Amino acid sequence: MNPNGRIPVVVNRDAGDLAIWETGSILRYLSEVYDKNYNLHFDNIEEETEMVRPYRFLEIPLCINDS
């Protein structure tokens, strides 16, 4: 499913075979679509943005060339 063949993928058959990959994207999608009581995410996008902002770049791999 994923073009790289090694990254987690979720396919939502109820949404026209919508494929989502990358763990962070999958978790966000599942919480927004299926957590109607807001147990896993905020109901206010501004509060969520303030909470998530410091962590949004933690998943970006850093490549350092020491040569």
Per-residue pLDDT of the chain (67 residues; tens, 9 = 90+): 666 677 888 999 999 999 998 888 888 888 888 888 988 878 888 887 887 777 766 655 555 555 5
> Can you give the residue ranges of every domain in the chain?
9-55
State the pTM of this model. Answer: 0.63
| Residue 28 · residue 44 · CB < 8 Å | no
Report the 10 Å Cβ neighbour count for 20. Answer: 19
Q: What is the phi/psi pair of residue 19, to 5°? A: -105, 130
Instruction: Look at phi and psi of residue 29 and say left if phi exceeds 0, alpha if psi is from -120 to 50, else beta.
Output: alpha
